[in-house]
């Protein structure tokens, strides 16, 4: 391999991408909380790793719309924003109408795992910057967000809508 190849050859995603939090997912509880957070007013698509897509405009195929929205998040820019909910859970919101719930009891039970593995939630070549333009040193909320987003990455890599909700 020549110098040009060494300098400019595109590296591939590691085999273990996306990061795989290997913790239980309770889809029924995710649905219950998602309905609570939305006032049971929106159609919802829930994926196998817990990503919830909100459908702001009524559609006939909730699952198909969920897949389209998840694809937009993953293939354009997987930005995220945390929100602390009134029940103590965290919502990791994305650039499209979707979120992942990180449950407070999940944090209590698995904090050592989340703390130790949070950097696995970064994409290859991704550097998240703080307000001063410096590489971020993740605080507790940042680690929670990366953990939640890792679940979304799993859903985006193997998208399976496992439950829908229609408030009709």
Query: Is the Cα torsion angle 66, 72, 77, 79 positive or negative in sign?
Result: negative
Percentage above 70 pLDDT, the chain: 78
Q: 5 is written with which tokens? A: 């190849």
Q: Each residue of 102-145: pLDDT tens digit? A: 999 999 999 998 888 777 676 666 666 667 777 667 889 988 98
Q: 51 is written with which tokens? A: 């990503």
Alpha helices in the chain (DSSP H): 3-8, 27-37, 62-76, 104-117, 140-157
Query: Which of 91, 100, 106 is CA-nearest to residue 70?
Result: 100
Return the DSSP state at 120. G
Whether this prediction's pTM lies above 0.85 is answered by: no
The answer to whether the CB of 73 falls within 8 A of the CB of 94 is yes
Measured in whole angstroms, the distance separating CA 118 from the mean position of its chain's CA atoms is 13
Query: Which of 107, 56, 108, 104 is CA-nearest to residue 84?
Result: 104
- Domain boundaries defined on the chain: 18-165
Query: What does the pLDDT read at residue 7?
Result: 43
78 pLDDT more than 70: no
Query: Which of 99, 80, 86, 96 is CA-nearest to residue 145?
Result: 80
φ/ψ of residue 135, rounded to 5:
-55, 135
Which whole number is the average pLDDT over 4-16?
A: 47
Query: What does the pLDDT read at residue 4?
Result: 44
Percentage above 90 pLDDT, the chain: 55
Q: How do strand 52-55 and strand 43-47 relate by DSSP bridges?
A: antiparallel
């Amino acid at each position: 391999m020549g110098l040009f190849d060494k300098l400019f050859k595109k590296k591939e995603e590691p085999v273990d991408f996306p990061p795989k939090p290997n913790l239980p997912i309770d889809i029924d509880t995710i649905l219950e909380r998602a309905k609570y957070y939305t006032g049971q007013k929106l159609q919802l698509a829930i994926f196998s790793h817990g990503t919830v897509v909100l459908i702001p405009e009524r559609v006939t195929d909730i699952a198909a719309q969920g897949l389209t929205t998840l694809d937009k998040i993953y293939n354009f820019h997987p930005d995220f924003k945390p929100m602390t909910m009134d029940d103590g859970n965290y919502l990791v919101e994305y650039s499209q109408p979707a979120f992942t719930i990180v449950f407070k009891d999940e944090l209590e039970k698995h904090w050592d795992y989340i703390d130790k593995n949070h950097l696995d939630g970064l994409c290859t070549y991704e550097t998240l910057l703080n307000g001063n333009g410096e590489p971020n040193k993740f605080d507790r909320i940042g680690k929670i967000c990366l953990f939640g987003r890792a679940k979304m990455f799993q859903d985006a890599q193997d998208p399976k809508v496992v439950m829908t909700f229609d408030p009709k």
